Chain A
Amino acid sequence: MISWDELKWHLGKVEKPSRYTGGEINVSNKDPLQAKVLFALAFPDVYEVGMSHLGSHILYHVINQRPDVVCDRVYAPWIDMENLLRDIGFPLFSIGNRMSLSSFDIVGFSLQYELTYSNVLSMLDLGGIPLRSEQRRIGDPLVIAGGPCAMAPEPIAPFIDAFALGDGEEIVLEIIDTYKGWADSGKSRLELLAALSKLEGVYVPSLYGMEYGSDGTIKGIRSSKGAPSCVRRRVVKSLDEVSFPDKPLIPLMEPIHDRAMVEIFRGCTQGCRFCEAGTIYRPVRERSLNGSCDLARNLVRASGYEEVSLVSLSSADYSRIEELIGRLVKDDPCGAKVSLPSLRVDSFSVELAQILSTGQKVGLTLAPEAGSQRMRDAINKKVTEKDLVDAASYAFSNGFSHIKLYFMVGLPGETDEDVLAIADVAKKIRQIGRDMKVRPNVVVSVSGFVPKPNTAFQWEEGVCQEELKRRQVLLGKALKGPGLAYKYHDAKTTWLEAVFARGDRRLSKTLEIAYRKGARFDAWPSMMDENLWMASFEESGLDPSFFAHREREETEILPWDHLDSGVDKEFLLSERSKAKAGITTPDCRREGCVGCGVCPSFGVENKIYH
């Protein structure tokens, strides 16, 4: 353990030192010396980002409920802290007990975003853990990872001993049990990995070999040591039956999302064709109305937060959203303002606008995703121009003046007309505000489309950086004027994300080279060094365009084909064809089964509380 009396002499040298001092409200104070298993939840980004991640809070809570396990947290140190640690010879340490990462039994990374991969390597290295799974020996921690990126993890696979696919609440405890059983057995590390691979939802990449053809595509994926040929993700059947933290960890340093969060449902069946989350979290599992209300109240009381956010992939789709907000805001006020993250345009009703506006007005965020009807049909965003006009009218007439709109550019089949249609939508919304005598402030936030694994667009060609920049500029020119603001994502980070999102295992070499050259925090545009990455691709002999821009054959073996989201490939292919034809697919919550395959795969159904 690193003593505070030693550490405090050094922290004055780093920016935001309270990133490293912990001391949160509601932190677990179990004694690590009494623990049978020491578990470090590792988040490969800075503290204030990690502390905003609900999934980590849930797992921290679930793991610490076990008396035999002590779960602590560790975050990526910013560059100045990394340099300091190296200078003074301290290892990367956990926030709660200040224990070196290498002293934990299990280190579990949360992989939310491909551009945090270089930080995973820096955390392992600084923590004194050999980078590659094959280099680890008895005494080194078991390094596991979960989160959305675990559903297509090949570029980072050689650095991780085992991936946990799908919902983490149950599987993480099974992994701990398996570890505990192995730790006393005197068996080899390989035997631990083989035992883990028998758990449903655990993917042990070292037990799978990849064969490549002369054209660079995968020709075969073979499992060994009795590991299943295909690993299916885990699904929690009911949110009401798994534990949720009602005494949340509250950082003393302001996190990015400084509010209480209630997960009101998991999964989304809207079926947007670009959205990986829309596949890998199916089916929809709503938390009950009473359960959601009770949690919101308990969270506000235990935290002192002034805002509670009702989170999910598309919160306005909660079957009784108006009733839920009405209860928390009007009938029996919970003592905090209630907010919803980005909303689907078609589910933003006049009732919702009215209920939300009775509390304090937070800005409103809508996500039409594409400007033209043609494009919205292609991506299956079943939103019409009328929905947009109505939503804006409801919002403006209920006191909102600030509306943020999310869009993407670079979508498959997109033309300049489609891009410019984004500006038309923004201007139309501004005009509605002006006509209603409010001073509208319309913020258009545009990200570059990245074809993601496990989506209908996983075979599509991605647009190159230059073309993406051209479309961004084109839109920027059309979006000038009072009451309009335009924000867009950095094209070079979009490019790197596109490389790694659909990458295969060979990219691990590039990743390691880039890490050695100094790549860190690639998701931060100011930190991402394109030249460094280009040099790393060259040194590893790989062409980034092969991964980022190439259209895949429908028969090609994809690097995540051995990981099963439960959604059939045939369904994704039919969605791809329908995208090309501009045909939409309904939401199975409302119009019956669309045959994606998830429910029969897992023996579950959408859980909706009508």
Chain B
Amino acid sequence: MGELKVRVNYVKGDEVRFLSHLDLARTIKMALRRARWPVAVTGGFSPKMRVSFYSPLPVGTAGYDEYADVVMDVPTDIPDGKFPIEGGMSSMPEFLSQLTLRLSETLPLGISAKEVFQAPKDEEPFESRIACSLYEAHIKGAESKALSSAIDDFLISPSVSYDIHGPKGTRTLDLRRFVENGHITLSANPETGIIRLSMKIKHMDGRTARPQWVIDSLSRFGFCVDVREIIVNRLEIILGRY
């Protein structure tokens, strides 16, 4: 008897971009409880809901293609493949559509479920399937020429080392390795004065880089901006083959 794992493809929208990953996880778990999802819990002294969130976003970044897996507390060895839902038994598609409906009713403004589906059985860990993230950054009041030339310089550099200061100390990362060639593009809107910068950032061995770091590193190529004043969205998570 296996277990039923349901994958939720969801949006962490503009309204909740400033939620931390832990608060986002708490909010979604509470919504699952209000939606009366039959979520499996861990055993032991202090049972926890079996929900996994992938590729956490930093505070300030919105995501339009986010994933979480939920292990369900339902029997999976029923011969005719029926699942218990309120008011009777149903097929898998009905079961999933009812889960989606109930979750949509309980999520707060800014968070929405795009799709709920059964996670593939026997796949490799989902986090390691993530190949790239596609981001866009909005930058206000910047010189697009300076930015354009800084990007060119970044892309032709063999490496761009960048110091990340965290609570456990400082670590240095080669940002260049994480940015795919030719995958920083920019467009400027003369009416709003906002420059839109797209970039594809790789995930390698469970590690990735933040677009804010890339933009911050452009200062050495002559483009300076306070990265706390830019708006970053993740548009897509691109999965590799499994």
Give residues in A with beta carbon < 8 Å to B: 4, 8-13, 16-18, 21, 23-25, 250, 252-254, 258, 301-306, 360-361
Q: What would 15 A/B residue contacts be, using CB atoms closer than 8 Å? A: A8-B17, A9-B229, A12-B59, A13-B229, A18-B18, A21-B15, A23-B15, A23-B16, A25-B106, A252-B16, A252-B27, A301-B34, A304-B31, A305-B30, A360-B47
Q: Is A304 in contact with B15, judged by CB distance below 8 angstroms?
A: no
With contacts A23-B109, A303-B30 taken as known, whether A18 is within 8 angstroms of B20 at the C-beta atoms is: yes
Asked if A252 meets B33 with Cβ closer than 8 Å, knowing A8-B231, A23-B108, the reply is no
Q: Report the bound CA distance from A27 to B33 in whole Å.
A: 18
Q: In the complex, which residue of chain B has the Cβ closest to the Cβ of A300?
A: B33
When chains A and B are docked, how far (Å) is the Cα of A433 from the Cα of B19? Answer: 42
Known contacts: A24-B108, A254-B23. The answer to whether A10 contacts B32 by CB under 8 A is no
State A23–B26 Cα separation when bound (angstroms): 14
Specify which chain B residues have a CB less than 8 angstroms from the CB of A18 in the assembled complex: 16, 18-20, 23, 59
Q: Are B60 and A11 in contact (CB under 8 A)?
A: yes
Chain A: CB-nearest residue to B18: A17
Q: How far is the CB of A529 from chain B (nearest CB, A)?
A: 26
B120 within 8 A of A: no
Tell me whether A4 and B15 are in contact in the complex, defined as CB-CB below 8 angstroms, given that A12-B229, A252-B108, A301-B34 are known contacts.
yes
* B18 partner residues in chain A, CB cutoff 8 A: 8, 11-12, 17-18, 21
Contacting residues, chain B, for A254 (C-beta < 8 A)? 22-23, 26
Query: Are the CB atoms of B30 and A250 closer together than 8 Å?
Result: yes
CA gap between A37 and B123 in the complex, in Å:
58
Q: A8-B17, A17-B18 are in contact. Are A304 and B228 (CB under 8 A)?
A: no
Q: Using C-beta atoms within 8 Å of the partner chain, give the interface range for chain B.
A: 20 to 34
When the two chains form their complex, are residues A9 and B140 in contact, meaning their CB atoms are under 8 A apart? yes
* B23 and A304 contacting across the interface, CB-CB below 8 Å: no
The complex places the Cα of A303 from the Cα of B229 at a distance, in Å, of 34
Q: Is the CB of A304 within 8 A of B229?
A: no
Chain A residue contacts of B227, Cβ below 8 A: 12
Tell me, rounded to whole Å, the shortest Cβ–Cβ distance linking A17 to chain B.
Answer: 4
Q: A304, B34: Cβ atoms under 8 Å?
A: yes
Contacts of A304 in B (CB 8 A): 29-34, 106
Residue B46 CB within 8 A of the other chain: yes
Closest to B60 in A: A12
Query: How far is it, in angstroms, between the C-alpha of A304 and the C-alpha of B29 when the chains are bound?
Result: 8
Closest partner residue, chain B, to A15 (CB atom): B59
Do the beta carbons of B140 and A17 come within 8 Å of each other? no
Known: A21-B16, A250-B30, A303-B30. A9 touches B108 (CB 8 A): no
Q: Are A17 and B59 in contact (CB-based, < 8 A)?
A: yes
Q: Which DSSP category, helix, strand, loop or mixed, fits chain A's interface? A: loop
**Interface core residue of A18, A24, A250, A306 (most chain B CB under 10 Å):** A18
Residues of B within 8 A of A361 (CB): 45
Chain A residue with Cβ nearest B138: A9
The 3 closest A-B pairs by CB, nearest first: A304-B30, A304-B33, A12-B228
CA distance A254 to B27 in the complex (A): 9
Task: Give bound CA distance, A509 to B108, whole Å.
Answer: 45
Choose among A23, A305, A361 the residue with the greatest number of B CB atoms under 10 Å from its CB. A23
Task: Tell me the bound Cα distance from A23 to B15 in angstroms.
Answer: 8
- For residue B14, CB closer than 8 A to chain A, the reply is yes
| Bound Cα distance A32, B140 (Å) | 31
Query: In the complex, what residue of chain B is closest to A361 when comparing beta carbons?
Result: B45
Kindly state the separation between the CA atoms of A13 and B212 in the bound complex, as whole angstroms: 13
A303 with B16: in contact, given A11-B60, A12-B229, A13-B228 (CB under 8 Å)? no
CB-nearest residue of chain A to B35: A304
In the complex, A305 Cα to B31 Cα: how many Å? 10
Cross-interface CB contact of B14 among A8, A16, A24, cutoff 8 Å:
A8
B48 smallest CB distance to A (angstroms): 9
Chain A's nearest CB lies how many Å from the CB of B191? Answer: 14
Query: Complex: how many Å from CA A252 to CA B13?
Result: 13
Contact A23 B110 (CB under 8 A): yes
User: Which residues of A sit under 8 angstroms from B27, Cβ to Cβ?
Assistant: 252
Taking the closest CB of chain B, its distance from the CB of A9, in whole angstroms, is 6
The distance from the CB of A303 to the nearest CB of chain B, in whole angstroms, is 7
- Whether the pair A10, B108 counts as a contact (CB closer than 8 A) is no
Give the residues in chain A near B31, CB-CB below 8 Å: 25, 304
**A21–B27 CA distance with the chains assembled, in angstroms:** 14
Collect the chain B residues with CB atoms within 8 Å of residue A253's CB: 19-20, 23
Expressed in whole angstroms, the Cα–Cα distance for A373 and B46 within the complex equals 38
- Closest B residue to A25 by CB, please name it: B108
Least Cβ–Cβ distance between A84 and chain B, in angstroms:
10
A452–B25 Cα distance when bound, in Å, is 42
Tell me the nearest residue of chain A to B212, going by C-beta: A12
Which A residues touch B231, using CB under 8 A?
A: 8-9
- In the assembled complex, which residues on chain A have CB atoms less than 8 Å from the CB atom of B106? 25, 304
What residues of B have a CB within 8 angstroms of the CB of A250 in the complex? Answer: 30
Set of chain B residues within 8 Å of A303, measured between Cβ atoms: 30, 34
